[in-house]
Amino acid sequence: MPVIKADLDLCQGYANCVMEAPKFFDISDDGVVVVLQEEFAEENRAKVEAAVRSCPVSALRIEE
């Protein structure tokens, strides 16, 4: 099952991922991404991929 990974050192808190996939991402009080569900089903791939692509600092990735 694919897994969402986040580089918290790169995250700038733009929250584009939250707008694209709020079921999977949130922003902490510290202003960095929180991955709400690391694993995701294939039916959610398009939404998660869109969220990953939306990150302007490339702090998100999908590992197979």
Domain ranges in the chain are 3-63
Contact 33, 41 (CB under 8 A): no
**pTM (predicted TM-score):** 0.94
Q: Is 21 helix (H, G, I), strand (E, B) or coil?
A: coil
| pLDDT for the residue 14 | 98
For 15: left if phi > 0, alpha if psi spans -120 to 50, otherwise beta; the answer is: left
For residue range 3-47, list pLDDT tens digits in order: 999 999 999 999 999 999 999 999 999 999 999 999 999 999 999
What fold does the segment set 3-63 form as a domain? Answer: Alpha-Beta Plaits (3.30.70)
